[in-house]
């Protein structure tokens, strides 16, 4: 991609697409002598370039903004990536303190919470999907974490606390968020492929290292079993930068194989659901994460009758589930040596279960699996 050197600082190289925005905002954001009002005005320019409702604009400007957002929905994260690569960490983060729009755009309200560093050392390995349609990624994260506890933490490296290095403005005031911590997340992506071609299986893959803050959206994000911010929240944020052009909204509605590609660097295309549960057991025993996908149905979510006649099993359509383990048990998960081998399948959304209708932790036979799911994706060995 062509680059141009920012005349404001010869050490900064900016991609062509966000260059105009960068030239308007960087003089204020990077100037330690700038007044708070000037820095906040620059931050507002970044927000308006990404989040202003098109219905609030005149028709010609709305059309122009729509085209620009199709080409680059989040110029703010592109500017931040250039800063983090070109400048010393302290100078780059001084801009991040003031302008939250330099990071991925949440789907919902612009409210954020920091992932505590203790969450990166927690023993909780449960990954739960928030109010964001990225089950393809969350299910893959959950499957990898079940096979290799600590897998997500292994993708993250702490970059240090830079809040003490942040300069104050000329009147002694501090930025709106003066406790930014940086982490580094390593993911993978197809090499030298555009937005359309990158989904073609078996293209060359390269590692992508993302430097970002520990701020994540307060809502509409992944988390631990109680929806608290966790390592999964940071990996999801990094995926929004690598795969969705810095937009959480664009992270929605993709394929489970892409989730394994981002996390492991291996192409894992969909395959037919095996006829027997024993086949899936061999994958899990070999240390390979497994996810299962349901088909989009005109009627939406659907139910399957339980084989014991004690109720139904509820499933979401166009959704990805995590394979947890195989065991001989009843349809409620109680061990029973005389029962058929069942697959414990978990819904990453984690809705509540009841005696008559199970939604989250399902224990399905091979016959039920073939009725419920259209395909499976099997990741590489992680053990």
* Annotation marks residue 347 as catalytic: yes
Catalytic residue among 125, 144, 319, 377: 319
Q: What is the 3-state secondary structure (H, E, C) of the chain?
A: CCEEECCCCCCCEEECCCHHHHHHHHHHHCCCCCCHHHHHHHHHHHHHHHHCCHHHCCHHHHHHHHHHHHHCCCHHHHHHHHHHHHCCHHHHHHHHHHCHHHCCECCCCCCEEECCHHHHCCCCCCCECCCCCCHHHHHHHHHHHHHCCCHHHHCEEEEEECHHHCCCCCCCCCCCCCCCEEEEEEEEEECCCCCCHHHCCCCCEEEEEEEEECEEECCCCCECCCCCCCHHHHHHHHHHHHHCCCECHHHCCCCHHHHHHHHHCCCCCCECCCCCHHHHHHHHHCCCCEEEECCCCCCCCEEEECCCCCCEEEECCCCEEEEEEEEEECCCCCECCCCCEEEEEECCCCCCCCCCEECCEEEECHHHHHHHCCEEEECCCCC
* Annotation marks residue 377 as catalytic: no
Considering only CA atoms, which of 340, 336, 343 is closest in space to residue 363? Answer: 343
φ, ψ dihedrals at 279, nearest 5°: -65, -45
* Annotation marks residue 253 as catalytic: no
Catalytic residue among 135, 144, 268, 377: 135
User: Which tokens in the block code for residue 95?
Assistant: 């801009």
Considering only CA atoms, which of 377, 370, 376, 374 is closest in space to residue 304? Answer: 370
Place of tokens 């048990």: 329
Active site residues: 135, 319, 347
């Amino acid at each position: 991609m062509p680059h141009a050197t920012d005349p404001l600082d010869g050490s900064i190289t900016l991609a062509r697409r966000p260059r105009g925005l960068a030239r308007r905002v960087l003089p204020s954001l990077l100037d330690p002598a700038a007044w708070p009002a000037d820095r906040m005005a620059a931050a507002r320019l970044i927000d308006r370039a990404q989040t202003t409702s098109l219905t609030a604009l005149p028709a010609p400007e709305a059309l122009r903004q729509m085209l620009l957002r199709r080409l680059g929905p989040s110029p703010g994260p592109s500017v931040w990536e250039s800063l983090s690569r070109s400048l010393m960490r302290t100078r780059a983060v001084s801009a991040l303190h003031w302008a939250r729009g330099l990071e991925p755009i949440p789907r919902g309200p612009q409210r954020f919470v920091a992932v505590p560093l203790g969450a990166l050392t927690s023993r909780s390995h449960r990954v739960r999907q928030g109010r964001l349609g990225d089950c393809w990624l969350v299910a893959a994260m959950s499957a990898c974490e079940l096979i290799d506890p600590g897998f997500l933490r292994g993708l993250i490296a702490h970059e240090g606390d830079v809040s003490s290095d942040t300069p104050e403005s000329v009147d002694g005031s501090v930025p709106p968020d003066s406790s930014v911590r940086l982490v580094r997340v390593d993911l993978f992506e197809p090499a030298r492929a555009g937005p359309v071609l990158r989904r073609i299986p078996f293209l060359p893959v390269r590692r992508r290292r993302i430097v970002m803050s520990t701020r994540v959206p307060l809502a509409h994000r992944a988390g631990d079993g109680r929806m608290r911010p966790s390592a999964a929240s940071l990996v999801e944020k990094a995926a929004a930068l690598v795969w969705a052009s810095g937009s959480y909204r664009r992270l929605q509605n993709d394929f489970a194989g892409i989730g394994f590609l981002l996390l492991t660097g291996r192409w894992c295309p969909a395959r037919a659901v095996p006829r027997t549960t024993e086949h899936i057991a061999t994958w899990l025993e070999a240390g390979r994460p497994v996810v299962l996908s349901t088909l989009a149905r005109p009627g939406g979510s659907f139910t399957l009758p339980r084989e014991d006649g004690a109720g139904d099993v509820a499933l979401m359509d166009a959704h990805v589930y995590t394979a947890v383990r195989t065991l001989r048990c009843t349809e409620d998960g109680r061990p029973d040596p005389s029962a058929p081998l069942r697959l414990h399948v978990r819904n990453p959304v984690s809705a509540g279960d009841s005696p008559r209708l199970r939604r989250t932790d399902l224990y399905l036979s091979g016959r039920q699996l073939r009725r419920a799911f259209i395909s499976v994706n099997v990741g590489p060995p992680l053990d």
